[in-house]
Amino acid sequence: MNEPDQRIVQYIEAGRDRFIADLKEWLAIPSVSGDPAYATEVRRSAGWLTEYLRGQGFPTVEIWDTPGLPAVYAEWPAADPSAPAVLVYGHHDVQPVEPLDEWDTAPFEPVEDGDRLIGRGASDDKGQVLFHTLGIRAALAASGAGAPPVTVKLLVEGEEESGSVHFADLLRDRRDRLRCDAVVISDTTMWAADVPSMCTGMRGLTEAEVTLRGPSSDLHSGSFGGAVPNPLHAMAALMAALHDADGRVTLPGFYDDVVPLTDEERALFAKLPFDEDEWLRTAGGSRAAYGEKGHTTLERVWARPTAEINGMWGGHTGPGGKTIVPREAHAKISFRLVAGQEPAKVQQAFRDWVAANTPHGVEAEVHIPGGGVRPCFSPIDSPAVKAARRAMERAFGREVLFTREGGSGPEADLADVLDAPLIFVAVGLDDDRIHAPNEKVEIPLLLKGAEAAAYLWEELATALR
Ligand SMILES: [Zn+2]
């Protein structure tokens, strides 16, 4: 582990007050993307960021309009035109603030409370976008260079909190400008303030709805029951057969493409201070951990694919009895996918499996809404992840562990459209109350983020060359 660069540390310390004052100014703009009443504020936020980035020295700063709310793009070319390019992703829109009466302070009048900065967007995601500017300037000041060692591109979206509806199109339209060798995501969390960590992947998703049809109308169970197939029985059997006794999904080939966890990654997961009882409380008071045999809870939610039955219905569900053989049965299923799996392949495997397992006399229809979300994953021994880890370890002065995310966001589009590895350099905490009243960020962690960002460019310049 390298010692911290004192020139960078001192630059960041000296710049702290100015940085926090600037961040507060930005946080005061209520850029709520989910509420059309705030659209002008989201635009004002994009305008503020544009001016700010110009002031910080970015030679190119542009507002990128979408059919919805604007993103901000900035670029700082490396002195050496053959140097790698790195894209930093974040967002400048925020979640709504209701219920207002649960806030101890006004959400858009940010206040400092000791080491904390409280206000909507402090952690998610304005604070984490802005630490990059302090990081770049610290790195340039320390090196005396006029330009970073990699071309730094910054893409700050304005619709992340309202579903990123135009984001994939924006990426496709601007693919040439966004071309890069790695994408740095600064919109997630670390394990804990004293357990710095990096996320290395997000699960993908695909969904399906199954309809099983029997007779053309509900039948009297006295006259016909036991003598014709019952679609609900068939559905129950089908859904029960989706997992085996070891909790594994039974679709043929389902695990074939899964990139297995390495021994090193499993060992690093195991180092995270994880309290399963406490976790079960966050799982709605679930009474037991459950899942694929041979894997820990963290491995199950982060690195193993799943099938979940999301809903089943059919027949008579109202009050009182109704003695029928129902005409049809329905179920909704979702699959979480991990590194190596392709949604289209899983969709086909599911269609084939339903066809092969539907009993004679029952007709099956599988509806698959959309193409799904591909998983994203950067191996922990890949050059980009190793470089970012070195930068984080140098800033935090301790070992950086790895996590993954069980769900997925617009990050999957970044990896897909730009075809570049993702690296997650983020300093939010799970208790930052993002999306909730009294959102805060720990200022010392933002400054550590800036320091890590300052080391990152040099590390990536060497690693990606
Ligand atoms: Zn966010």
pLDDT tens-digit series, residues 379-426: 999 999 999 999 999 999 999 999 998 887 788 889 889 999 999 999
Q: What is the structure's pLDDT at 116?
A: 98
Q: Are residues 36 and 179 in the same domain?
A: yes
Q: Which of these three, 347, 367, 387, is where a domain ends?
A: 367
Cis peptide before 125 (omega within 30 of 0): yes
Residues 223 and 88 in one domain: no
Amino acid at 25: E
Report the percent of the chain where pLDDT is more than 70.
100
Per-residue confidence (pLDDT) for residue 370, from 0 to 100: 86
- Cα–Cα distance for residue pair 427/430, rounded to 1 Å: 10
Tokens of 247: 């909790």
Cα–ligand 1 centroid distance for 388 (angstroms): 20
Spatial separation of the C-alpha atoms in residues 250 and 242, rounded to whole Å: 5
Quickly count helices (H) and strands (E) in the chain: 14, 18
The pLDDT of residue 1: 81
Cα-to-centroid distance, 172 and ligand 1 (Å): 21
The confidence score (pLDDT) of residue 412 equals 84
Whether residues 62 and 193 share a domain: the answer is yes
Q: Is residue 269 part of a domain?
A: no
| pTM of the predicted model as reported, rounded to 2 decimal places | 0.91
Q: Does residue 171 form part of some domain? A: yes
Provide the pLDDT for residue 407: 84
Domain end marker among 325, 350, 367: 367
Question: What CATH number does the domain containing 356 carry?
Answer: 3.30.70.360
Q: What is the pLDDT of residues 102-118, one digit of tens each?
A: 999 999 999 999 999 99
C-alpha 161 – ligand 1 centre gap (Å): 7
The alpha carbon of 411 and the centre of ligand 1 are apart by a number of angstroms equal to 11
Measured in Å, residue 153 CA sits from the centre of ligand 1 at 19
337 inside domain: yes
Alpha-carbon gap, residue 451 to 459, rounded angstroms: 13
For residue 268, report the distance from its CA to the centre of ligand 1, in Å: 26
pLDDT at 410: 81
Q: With 90 as the cut, is the pLDDT of residue 45 above it?
A: yes
Q: What is the CATH number of the domain that holds 385?
A: 3.40.630.10
| Residues 11 and 141 both lie in one domain | yes
The stretch 14-25 carries a mean pLDDT of 98
User: Within a 10 A sphere around the Cβ of 164, how many other Cβ atoms?
Assistant: 22
Q: Are residues 326 and 385 in the same domain?
A: no
Measured in Å, residue 233 CA sits from the centre of ligand 1 at: 43
Q: How far is the CA of 263 from the centre of ligand 1 (A)?
A: 31
Residue 348 lies in a domain: yes
CA of 457 to the centre of ligand 1 (A): 23
189 and 60 fall within a common domain = yes
**Is residue 86 domain-shared with residue 160, that is, in the same domain?**
yes
Cα(235) to ligand 1 centroid in Å equals: 39
Q: How far apart are CA 233 and CA 220, in angstroms?
A: 16
Q: Which residues contact 256 (CB under 8 A, 6 or more apart)?
A: none
Q: Residue 301 C-alpha to ligand 1 middle, in angstroms?
A: 20
Mean pLDDT, the chain, integer: 96
How many Å lie between the centroid of ligand 1 and the Cα of residue 186?
8
Over pLDDT 90: what percentage of the chain?
A: 95
Could you say which DSSP state residue 182 is in? E
The Å distance, Cα 197 to ligand 1 centre, comes to 17
Residues in the chain: 465
From the CA of 108, how far away is ligand 1's center (Å)? Answer: 17
CA of 92 to the centre of ligand 1 (A): 9
When pLDDT is cut at 50, 70 and 90, the band that residue 10 belongs to is: very high
Query: Domain boundary at 323, 339, 367, which?
Result: 367
Q: Are residues 381 and 396 in the same domain?
A: yes
- Within a domain: 292: no
- 81-94, pLDDT tens digit by residue? 999 999 999 999 99
- Do 193 and 247 fall into the same domain? no
State in Å: Cα 230 to ligand 1 middle. 47
Ligand 1 center–CA 52 separation, angstroms: 20
Distance 432 CA to ligand 1 centre (A): 12
What's the 277 CA to ligand 1 centre distance in angstroms? 28
The parent domain of residue 123 ranges over 6-202+375-463
Q: How far is the CA of 414 from the centre of ligand 1 (A)?
A: 15
Ion ligand 1 contact residues with beta carbon within 5 A: 124-125, 187
Q: Are both 359 and 448 inside the same structural domain?
A: no
**Is pLDDT at 305 greater than 90 in this prediction?**
yes
Number of domains in the chain: 2
Q: What is the largest CA-CA distance in the chain?
A: 89
Give pLDDT tens digits for 211-263. Answer: 999 999 999 999 999 999 999 999 999 999 999 999 999 999 999 999 999 99
What's the 274 CA to ligand 1 centre distance in angstroms?
24
Mean pLDDT of 171-177: 97
Ligand 1 center to 3 CA (angstroms): 31
Q: Are strands 151-157 and 71-76 parallel, antiparallel or unpaired?
A: antiparallel
CB 202, CB 415: distance < 8 Å: no
Q: What would the pLDDT profile of 134-151 be if each residue is shown by its tens digit?
A: 999 999 999 999 999 999
Distance 94 CA to ligand 1 centre (A): 8
C-beta separation of 117 from 24 below 8 A:
yes
Distance 440 CA to ligand 1 centre (A): 13
- The pLDDT value given to residue 463: 96
The reported pLDDT for the residue numbered 245 is: 98
Mean pLDDT of 4-23: 98
- Could you tell me the distance, in angstroms and rounded to a whole number, from the CA of residue 6 to the centre of ligand 1? 31
Q: Look at residue 460 and tell me whether its pLDDT is greater than 80.
A: yes
For residue 425, being part of any structural domain is answered with yes
* Burial profile 269-292: b = 16 or more Cβ within 10 angstroms, e = fewer: beeeeeeeeeeeeeeeeeeeeebb
- 424 and 335 in a single domain? The answer is no
Q: Compute, in angstroms, the gap from residue 408 CA to the centroid of ligand 1.
A: 12
Residue 289 domain flag:
no
Calculate the alpha carbon distances from 357 to 212, 216, 352 in Å. Answer: 11, 21, 9
Residue of 50, 46, 30 lying closest to 109 (CA atoms): 30
Residue 369's pLDDT is: 93
Q: What is the pLDDT of residue 409?
A: 76
Buried b (16+ CB within 10 A) or exposed e, 388-401: bbbbbbbbbeeebb
Structure tokens that stand for 372 in this block: 């799904």
Torsion sign (Cα): 312, 315, 317, 323: negative
Same domain for 36 and 172? Answer: yes
Does residue 176 belong to any structural domain of this protein? Answer: yes
Q: What is the pLDDT of residues 58-106, one digit of tens each?
A: 999 999 999 999 999 999 999 999 999 999 999 999 999 999 999 999 9
CA of 317 relative to ligand 1 center, distance in Å: 40
